[in-house]
Chains A and B, each alone.
Chain A
């Protein structure tokens, strides 16, 4: 498939799923009536529901999906490993730790943005720790090792907080938050996450040239003028900003960053730079679709987005591995 055609098709898919996300919900109203209520004040609560509940939820679906898909493609390109994902460098685990501490300490109840801001602080701490551990060079191996170490530490500390949790309600809240969801979010979340994510997206969009050249290995890329140290810094900062903000508003949502680049890679001729935009759109489509699905499959039971994603994502991944058998 030609690249412009693919991008157009993915954009249309995202637009379609965005509209679908707006018209699916608890209130039983026709789709046209719902969309009309967005722009025109309706009798009753429909306009309020559309503007204050469904619209921010759909926006967050796109934002979280773009962040996870784009970060996944960038990480895989940088590490030259199709099994890499944003979680590899510990950003999501650290953001989750920040949020968990906020939930546990009661800080999250103080003001509406306390939880996402704590998660962002966790992601920022992770970046500093990784860059400190990985050293000044531009190597990928030191980055991955630092990421695994930070990730393990953050998971252990999260488990410790749960372990020592004095009341079961806080523990319950933490566990549910960690499953990842877009339910009951508001525009406050959108406006908190969007600036941080935008910075992350812009940074990651700068990595394309370097990622393409890294196909030839680090030495060849360096000899062709790629500044590996700068590339790594931009990549880590970009992934931290986008995935940190995504985790801050939606909790831990896995598999998007792993599966989406994997599925789309053959469609962009395996070129890492082209995979960035394609995966951003693909990620948005997947998160929107999954968020519609959680509302349709078990309405009223609050099926968590992260749970559904793992339930769908893992078999998709099995299939991919199955197909890869026998190939070199």
Chain B
């Protein structure tokens, strides 16, 4: 059983295809890292899969009715928007019909270590804390699948690792997670699978150790990396920019 199946998903902007015939599926237990350079089509892929933007091809999520979709997948957009100084508890409870005592809400607040902030206005928190509040909101939706667009951007190293571990735990509990990421080191270390996208096309898909090769990193990202298998696992450290031929 897959949580998301995408078949030949294509998004055109004018004559250019920003997403070109993407196909993959996500099974329970997978934490998929979606990597690729700026403008490769990572956000477009996630949005089209959710049905937020019109696309050709098939996506099992986009096909669902608008009422059924929030139960199937939660979405964490890149823009971290909190428009009003509502309390953290209220913001997270939006995922559960404003019921602040719902077990899903309490569990999400606990998991993101936010119980102490529950009654504080969300806009008064620091950027990193706000990011955690928004992740908690997505977790409180209690869906089998979570889609996140650059969830670690702007977080300090500890919270980047914490967020990745949270997602990995969700996957180990039998859910599915797909997150677009820029940090190859985090992606290699925490994801169970990587999908590499370049100029709108999926160019590689598989376990991190198989996907991250010197050739691929040079071709897709135009960088030279140190790839090292250590007792701690795979370590990826970008070293230098390669001039494109």
Q: Which residues of A contact B (CB under 8 A)?
A: 80, 212-217, 219-220, 222-225, 227, 265, 269-272, 328
Contact = CB atoms under 8 A, between A and B. Distances in A.
9 contacts: A215-B81, A216-B91, A223-B75, A224-B70, A265-B84, A269-B86, A269-B87, A269-B90, A272-B84
Interface in B68-84: 69-70, 73-77, 79, 81-84
B105 interface: no
Given A217-B79, A269-B90, A270-B121, A223 B52 contact: yes
A227 B84 CA distance: 21
Given A223-B75, A270-B121, A216 B134 contact: yes
Interface in B27-82: 47, 50, 52, 66-67, 69-70, 73-77, 79, 81-82
Contact of A224 (B82, B95, B123): B95
A328 B130 CA distance: 14
Given A219-B75, A270-B121, A224 B141 contact: yes
Contacts of B66: 225, 227
Main secondary structure of the interface of B (DSSP, over half): mixed
Contacts of B87: 269
Interface of B: 47, 50, 52, 66-67, 69-70, 73-77, 79, 81-87, 90-91, 94-95, 98, 121, 123, 134, 137, 141
B75 A220 contact: yes
A215 B84 contact: yes
Contact of A212 (B47, B70, B94): B94
A80 B69 contact: no
A215 B91 contact: yes
B75 A213 contact: no
B140 to A, nearest CB: 11
A227 B65 CA distance: 11
Contacts of B70: 223-225
Contact of B94 (A216, A219, A265, A269): A216
Contacts of B73: 223
Given A223-B50, A225-B66, A225-B70, A270 B86 contact: yes
Nearest to B147: A223
Given A222-B52, A224-B94, A225-B66, A217 B77 contact: yes
Contacts of A224: 70, 94-95, 141
Contacts of B84: 80, 215, 265, 270-272
A292 B218 CA distance: 76
Contacts of A220: 75-77, 81, 134, 137
Contacts of B75: 219-220, 223
A216 B82 contact: yes
A223 B84 CA distance: 19
Given A215-B94, A216-B134, A225-B66, A80 B86 contact: no
Contacts of A265: 84
Contact of B69 (A212, A215, A225, A328): A225
Contacts of B121: 270
A212 B95 CA distance: 11
A214 B81 CA distance: 9
B83 A215 contact: yes
A220 B82 CA distance: 11
B86 A213 contact: no
A213 B74 CA distance: 14
B96 to A, nearest CB: 10
Contact of A223 (B69, B91, B134): B69
